[in-house]
Amino acid sequence: MQWSTDWGLRGRMAFTMFLLFGLYLAFVGALVSFYDAGMLTVLVLMGGFSLVQYFFSDKLALRSMGARKVAPDEEPELHRKIERLSQQADLPKPTVAVADSQVPNAFATGRNQKNATVCVTSGLQRTLSDEELEGVLAHELAHVKNRDVMVMTIASFLSTIAFFVVRWGWLFAGDDRNSPPVWVAIVVSLVVWVVSFLLIRALSRYREYAADRGAASITGNPSALASALMRIDRRMDNVPKEDLRDQAEMNAFFIIPIRSGLIGKLASTHPPMDKRIEKLRELEAEMETV
């Protein structure tokens, strides 16, 4: 399906990434000014750690969810759906995984389009109709096509460094750990971490809108995804609290984040449900007029 590009969404994503880039340039300059080569060594080491995490993101995500890869003879219908949707999205078929969980959710992970995994929970399969499940799977494939794992890993790297400096920076200052410049650097790192945290969460929300739009493009059926989101949202109220706590660390990956009453809109990885559904309804109307 074809429709006009959402330039407003693209503009907001570009502006957010521009702000992150500027913030990180200032941050690196501050670190170089206040620390010696010891901190730069730590930056290199943590960069290597982030690369390892990036290349093994699929295995780490599946392990944290207790998910397992499934063969076509184990989940033939799920494989057929993902294979067909992958062809429609012009993507290689990803690895298929299932997590035995009552939480109705799904996520995509992997470092690139050729090394991707789409995982669904058993709770999701029991909750959704075939059309709704296809809408959710298309949303996850849109994340793969948009290379969102790579984008968010790059966006988060220096934010992680900033948090590290806030917590442990004084250890690398040697005899100067009580000097004003060192504490200025730690305060600067704290500001960078807080601001970048909010910017990264905003970027994550924009990526979710983009994946919703991509799912509508793949299936040509925005209403199916909208219906799936509403059904999953209602089902979340009946999920045991211990299951929600066990999987809370995967919030950024899920199609719908596990609710937490302490997290405000600015700190959410996903847009408000009503806004996502409203956008999908607009897409449906737009597609009907083409």
Residues forming the active site: 140
Extended beta strands in 101-187, E state? 106-110, 116-121
Token pair for residue 38?
């010891």
The pairing of beta strand 95-99 with beta strand 106-110:
unpaired
Q: Quick one: which of 158, 207, 216, 163 has its CA closest to 29? A: 158
144, 211 contact by CB (below 8 A): no
What six digits make up the tokens of 213?
């739009």
For 42, 182, 184, 189, the CA distances from 22, given in Å and listed in that order, are 22, 22, 19, 14
The SS3 call for residue 271 is coil
CA distance 31 to 53: 24
User: CA-to-CA distance for 19 and 199, rounded, in angstroms?
Assistant: 8
Q: How many CB atoms lie within 10 A of CB 18?
A: 10
Sign (positive or negative) of CA dihedral 143, 210, 198, 195: positive
E strands of the chain, at which residues?
67-69, 95-99, 106-110, 116-121
